[in-house]
Structures are given as C-alpha cells and as structure tokens.
Structure 1
Amino acid sequence: MHIPYVGSGPYCYSNSFAMLMGEHAPPTAVIETLTGGPFGMQLLAGKLPFFDPYGWDPSEGFDNVLSSLGWTSTVTSGGEAADALARLREAVAKGPVWVGPVEMGHLHHQPGMTGPIGADHYVVVLAVDDDTVLMHDPQGFPYATLPLADFMTAWAKETVAYGDPYTLRTDFARLGEVGEVEALRAGLATATSWLHLRDDVPVPPGTLGNGEAAEALAVVWAAGPDEGLRGHLEHFAIRVGARRLDDAATCLARLDLAEASSILREQARLVGALQYPAVKRDDDAVAAGLRELAPTYDRLRAVLSS
C-alpha cells in the first residue's frame, strides 16, 4: 500500500497559493502537479540540476494552476522600488498579497540568511508599516517580521535568475466550484507538455533535459562535484524533487492513470534515495542512482502520449 508523503519541504509558491485560496484551496499536491513542475529534469547550462522540466521555472505554471482550478488573480511587476512599494501598500490595505519571487538570502528572519544565495522564494504579505513587513513565510515562519529595507532588497530579486522584480498577485477570485479531479483533468495536458523538451522557452546554452540531464549529472557527480553543487542537491533539489514526484503520482492515480502514476512513484523513490549518499558523499552511489533515473523520463512521456 502506498502512503503519500505529508510533511515539511520547500513548497513555497504552492503553500502561498493555498493560503490565498483559503477554505477553497485544494491540497498543495494538486497545485504543484498543475504547475508542471514534476514532469521532467533539467541541468541548467550543463551545471545546475533541478528535478523539474527543461526550460521550466515556477512562474511558467501559475496560469495553468489558476485557470484549471477556476480562479483568477491580478499580477503586476516591474517599475521602480518606490512605485512597487506604493502598489504593495495599496494592495495589502485590501487583504493579503502573494509576493515573489524574492531572494531568500535577504530574508534575515530565517536563520543563516545573511546575503544573496540565488534562491527564489514566495511569501504572503499581511501588512506593511513605515519600517516593517509582516508576512506568512511558508518556509516555516508564520507572522514573520522583516525590516522594510531588507524586504525591498529581497523583492528586487537581482540574484534570482527568472521572473520580474517586484511581482505581486492580488484580487484572487473564485469564478466557480471546480473539483480537484476535474481541475487535474483540465490542466493535465498543459502540465505534462513539459516532458517534451519544449522549444518555446529560453534556456541557457548547454542546458540539458530529462534523461540527458540525469546522465550528464551522473558524470559530474562521479568526478566529484564542488561544495556549492553538493549543498544545492542535498539541501534543496532532492527534497523538493522527490516530494513533487510523489504528489504527481498520487494525483495521476486519482485520474486512473495507473501506469504513469507508477513511473512517477518510481522516479520519486529514485530521487529520494539520492539523499543519503549525497549527504554521506558516496558519489558513486549518487551517480548510479542518476543513471537508473535517466530512462524513466522517456518511459513516462511515452505512456502519457499514448
């Protein structure tokens, strides 16, 4: 019997969406699956691995989440800092505001965050006064406060590789009642299209996808990765990758897509099993796990295309 994972993990944008949707929010597993994030792997510029699709970033999946679930929102971004702050103040006067991406390293209420680390994050802003921002930070910090200057630096996201600075979403509105299974059916084709290595999204030169990404990362790992790459894999990429794959497997099982669900569950186990050898620096075991993972992407794509 399969037991879906429930617990902590870096699900910042899915958790933030769920907070804004309130009592009508679906499980975060549904939100994450509809973003398309579970369907693929990429090695950005041939160097930085993510267990998410080639050319994908979180912002690419947000419209599919909202439309599939029967929601709308208003998104604004860019401009000068003073104008962005005015937008935020106006929006938060009406209710909570979904904000991101922000640079996590500037969120100094989080222990160990002393400067930019190139990590994206999403929060729900609850209030803004002259000097302080009050927020629900889904990293595990409800009602966190942060000096306004630090928040604005984080929101400028100068060290985050995707998205526009000063992006926020407001005016969340539910247009009609859409069930979770109905939403998954409506959004599945768009979500799973990312398995096909889409050519309509820009990627850095040298970026690889799916099986090629896994094989190339195995070569890097067998040769001994640098400390930054080790930390990225063991602190973030494995955790979120295994969880979103497990969530997608659960969601596709609800659509009676048993074979696709089984492959996703296999991928979740393979990715999750990388955690121990990554932490223990058993580089050969990590490389072997990545090579075992590589052919599963073509299998999943074939099943979902049939």
Structure 2
Amino acid sequence: MTLRYLGNSPYCAANSLSVIFGEAGPGAPMIEVASGSPFGFSIGQVDGGHRRGFPDHEIEEIVFFSSPRWSPDFGLARSLDVLGWDCDRIHSSAEEAVAALRRASHDAPVLVGPLEMGLLPYFPGLGQAVGADHVLVGLGVEGDLLRAHDVIGWPFVTISLDDLLAAWQGDTFAYETEAYQVRAGFRQARPVATEEAVRRSMETAIHLLEAPEIAPAAQRAAELVEAGLTNMQYKYLVEFQVQAGARRLADAAVLFHDAGATASGAILEQQAKLVGSLQLLLMKHDDAATASVFRELGPTYGELLDALRKES
C-alpha cells in the first residue's frame, strides 16, 4: 500500500475544518474523504470569457476529478454528517453574515465561504475572478477588517469587509451556490470511530460513482487535450485539479485499505498514480500521453464501484 502523503495540497475546506475542530477532529484526510470529493470524474461548464472581461462569453469545459453529483456544498454537509458534527448555517443576507463574523472569536471560529479566490486582495498575482472557490476560518472583526486563518498559507490574515463581500457572491463557480454563507456554532453531536466514518464514506462513494456521466467524461477529457487545451483549461489542471485529485485519491486509498477494503484501496492507489502522473505530462505538453492517461482512467471508476459494492 502507498506511503501516506503529508505536505502541501489545496485542502482548504478540510484543513479549515481541522482548525475549527481542533483535537476533537479526525484530521484533514478523513474529513476530505468523508466529503466524497475523491470519487468520480466530471466535466464542468465554466463561463471563462466573462471572467476575463470579454463581452462575448465563452463557456469552457473544465476537468474535475470528482463526481458530477458532488459539489463543495455537498462535501461540507456530508463531512459534518459522517463525522458526527453539527453547525449553524447562515446564508440569508450580507447583513446577517457580517453580524455572524462579528460574533466570531478564537474560541468560536466560523467557516466563511465559498469565496471567489481571485477577488481576495491578499492573494498575489490574481486580482480578478478565476472561478476558484475558497473558504476561510473567521476569527472575528477588528474595525472594518475580518481577521482570519487562510489555510493555504496565511495565518491571521486580514481582509476588509467590503472586499470580502465582493468575493462572497457565489456566482463565479462551475456549480450553483448561495452568497454570504457562514457556518458557525460547530459542535460535536456524537463521537464517530474511524471505522464507522470510513464505512459511511464508502456508502457515499458508491452513490457518487453511480453517476452514468463519469466514464464519458474521462473520454471527453482526452478529446479536449487532443483538440488543444485553452489557457483556462490548462491552468485549472496544472495549478489545482491534478494536485487536489491525486491527494484526495491517495488519502482515500490509505484509509480504505487500512479499514480492510483492500481491493478498493488498490484501485484508488492506481487512480492516484495515474492522476499524479498527469502533472509532468501536462507541463511538457505531451498531449498524446496525457490523453492516454485520461482514457486509462475511464474504466477504473466502474472497477472501483464494483469493488466498493463487494467490500462495503
């Protein structure tokens, strides 16, 4: 079985929840796997032209290493349910959201988002919407500034409330979501053993892998590569999707294998290696080899579904 990976990865929701849960939490890998994010493959529709300021909107097809049935909102809700945690979700208005931020503290942190990463002014090199969703751990308001932990790498960062609200509209992503979401009042409703959390994560995986669009999406990804990726399609892959996809699969492989689902764990490790191999191929612009990897991935999702049904 694979050596467990520890290190950088775009686990913003899982790492943020780990900060909030503290020692009572199961750690970011279990949180991420419980969300269902590793299981599946899809092509999302992103309005790239609008984000680049062009008057004629261009709808671009973006590769996601997750099920078409999955979204970050689904993942957050599923993680909390599987792991036995509750919280209060506020999403009605900007005024109520800011009021919730003002009630936050180091002892009562809140989860803020999804936010448009490109509109967070402390991020270097962005400055415009890029369709990337992000969350922060809110620690309270100081004057007109939110103090927060950004788990990508900025502890105790600040952002003005005006800038935060501009990034908090929820209208730039490849999935539908609500603006001004805050999750507060986190509390552990019941203790959940790792074995139970993994078992319920396997149930989630089966549901997500049953989406009939998965295998055709992998084939479509190969065709997109062969036709020539746009700048947005390419950047999504090399700057986020490959990292996130390989890490999620690697974590799922270890957790499932350790829980006794060895066949499922082996397939997940195979998928992690295939996705991980894409980074070099994409950076070298080896389109033929990249397309071949996507085609090799396609049938593994059905194989994983069969294995999970037998082992769950």
TM-score, length-normalised on structure 2? 0.90
State the AA in 2 paired with 1:119.
Answer: A
In 2, Cα distance between the equivalents of 1:220 and 1:29? 31
Counterpart of 1:119? 132
State the AA in 2 paired with 1:60.
Answer: F
The residue matched to 1:294 in structure 2 has which SS?
Answer: helix
Q: Does the CA contact (< 8 Å) of 1:125 and 1:136 recur in 2?
A: yes
Counterpart of 1:179? 193
Equivalences for residues 58-73 of structure 1 within 5 A: 58-73=72-87
- In structure 2, which of residues 170, 180, 201 is the aligned counterpart of residue 157 of structure 1? 170
Pairing 1:84–2:88 present: no
In 2, Cα distance between the equivalents of 1:33 and 1:192? 13
Counterpart of 2:50? none
The residue matched to 1:249 in structure 2 has which SS?
Answer: helix
Root-mean-square deviation (Å): 1.7
Q: Does the CA contact (< 8 Å) of 1:246 and 1:264 recur in 2?
A: yes
Counterpart of 2:141? 128
Q: Does the CA contact (< 8 Å) of 2:101 and 2:140 recur in 1?
A: no
Q: Aligned pair in 2 of structure 1 residues 100, 243: CA closer, same or farther (>3 Å)? A: same
Counterpart of 1:206? none
Pairing 1:223–2:227 present: yes
Per-residue deviation, residues 224-272 of structure 1 (Å, max 9, x unmatched): 1111111111101111000000011111112200000000000000000
Q: Does the CA contact (< 8 Å) of 1:33 and 1:191 recur in 2?
A: no
% identity of equivalent residues:
37
In 2, Cα distance between the equivalents of 1:93 and 1:270? 41
Deviation at 1:86, TM superposition (A): 2.0
State the AA in 1 paired with 2:291.
Answer: A
State the AA in 2 paired with 1:285.
Answer: A
Counterpart of 2:114? 101
The residue matched to 2:63 in structure 1 has which SS?
Answer: strand
Deviation at 1:35, TM superposition (A): 0.7
Deviation >4 Å, runs of 4+: 91-94
Per-residue deviation, residues 24-56 of structure 1 (Å, max 9, x unmatched): 111211111111111100012482110001131
Deviation at 1:110, TM superposition (A): 1.5
Report how many aligned residue pairs link the two structures. Answer: 295
Q: Does the CA contact (< 8 Å) of 1:36 and 1:192 recur in 2?
A: no
Equivalences for residues 184-199 of structure 1 within 5 A: 184-197=198-211
Q: Does the CA contact (< 8 Å) of 1:61 and 1:191 recur in 2?
A: no
Counterpart of 2:276? 272
Deviation at 1:156, TM superposition (A): 2.1
In 2, Cα distance between the equivalents of 1:239 and 1:256? 26
State the AA in 2 paired with 1:239.
Answer: Q
Deviation at 1:181, TM superposition (A): 2.0
Gaps of 5+ in 2: 46-59
Q: Aligned pair in 2 of structure 1 residues 251, 94: CA closer, same or farther (>3 Å)? A: closer
Q: Does the CA contact (< 8 Å) of 1:41 and 1:210 recur in 2?
A: yes
Q: Does the CA contact (< 8 Å) of 2:113 and 2:134 recur in 1?
A: yes
Q: Aligned pair in 2 of structure 1 residues 223, 187: CA closer, same or farther (>3 Å)? A: closer
Q: Does the CA contact (< 8 Å) of 2:4 and 2:251 recur in 1?
A: yes
State the AA in 2 paired with 1:256.
Answer: G
The residue matched to 1:78 in structure 2 has which SS?
Answer: coil
Equivalences for residues 257-268 of structure 1 within 5 A: 257-268=261-272
Deviation at 1:93, TM superposition (A): 8.6
Pairing 1:251–2:255 present: yes
Deviation at 1:281, TM superposition (A): 1.1
Deviation at 1:91, TM superposition (A): 4.2
State the AA in 2 paired with 1:110.
Answer: F
The residue matched to 2:113 in structure 1 has which SS?
Answer: strand
Counterpart of 1:41? 41
Equivalences for residues 287-306 of structure 1 within 5 A: 287-306=291-310
Gaps of 5+ in 1: 199-208
State the AA in 1 paired with 2:30.
Answer: V
